[in-house]
Chain A
């Protein structure tokens, strides 16, 4: 492949949206109210829309006749580069919203930097996505506040979710090899620089939500290198089921 770094870089971004979109899609029809159900599906739809833009671009870069669907659905488990955070299951609505929030704050900061990319396709995609993600961030922050500063039960559940997911936040700011090269070329985002503002913003909101900021300094990583939690395999078997069972067909 001529531009393998760019290809890997795109996958690193797109896989987060793909896996999170898939998680949100699982909830369709099972939300706590019809209104919330519709809203969560909207987030899922936004994310899949983003995925398609990224993978269509990746498919062009790869230049080996693989379609967006081949890239999305026909890789092996170790070849998915999403962060561990987004693959965590929908344990309950607090986990779902906490996961969304912890990702959205990062995602928003990331996209606003990606808009400045020297790669015009990436900056155009970022430019489109950022409006969607701004709304996601507003939506998930509101829910973190509601559940944090709601009833005792909801507070306990939201605190539990934040504590559990906290361990996956640090990975967001790890630089991969593809990252480093892309940053040096001016096309990529230096995620290490987003870290401080991230924890500040997240901390501020948790405070408003009357939640405690977890103190744990032990973090998990590996997703960006394709070493995932056990949850991803099951998600992929759903995602890939049709393509694996009926190979080489058009749908």
Chain B
């Protein structure tokens, strides 16, 4: 499959960071978007100003985008389809007498 490669110029541009924000305690960090920053501290500061201007967060994680390893959608068949038919992992697979209302 064709990959889009890029020739980077010699100029060192601020790398890309992925931003994860916890909107309030009790919730998980969620991917909010990305931005550019020279280092992790700056990424945190920028994330605060870019993604939490309207009170959207109580905690921020920043990860440099190049450090994220992603699954390849080409392998989605072998990665995810085997889970489709494992219905016994779900409670509805099991029969209960009607008398038992909650389990």
Contacts and interface: CB of A to CB of B under 8 A. Distances in A.
Say if the two chains contact directly (CB < 8 Å): yes
Interface of A: 33-36, 38-39, 42, 135, 138-139, 142, 146
23 contacts: A33-B36, A34-B36, A35-B35, A35-B37, A35-B42, A35-B46, A35-B49, A35-B50, A36-B46, A38-B46, A38-B49, A38-B50, A39-B45, A39-B49, A42-B49, A135-B48, A138-B45, A139-B45, A142-B41, A142-B42, A142-B45, A146-B38, A146-B42
Could you say which of A34, A35, A42, A138 has the most chain B C-beta atoms within 10 Å of its C-beta? A35
A42 B53 CA distance: 8
A27 B50 CA distance: 17
Closest 7 CB pairs of A and B: A35-B46, A39-B49, A38-B49, A42-B49, A38-B50, A35-B35, A139-B45
Contacts of A146: 38, 42
Could you say which of B14, B36, B45 has the most chain A C-beta atoms within 10 Å of its C-beta? B45
Interface of B: 14, 35-38, 41-42, 45-46, 48-50, 53
B43 to A, nearest CB: 9
Given A42-B53, A146-B38, A33 B45 contact: no
A142 B42 CA distance: 8
Contacts of A142: 41-42, 45
B25 to A, nearest CB: 19
Nearest to A143: B42
A133 B52 CA distance: 17
A19 to B, nearest CB: 22
B53 A33 contact: no
Given A35-B50, A39-B46, 17 more contacts: A33-B14, A33-B36, A35-B35, A35-B36, A35-B37, A35-B49, A38-B46, A38-B49, A38-B50, A38-B53, A39-B49, A42-B49, A42-B53, A142-B41, A142-B45, A146-B38, A146-B42
B96 to A, nearest CB: 54
Contacts of B38: 146
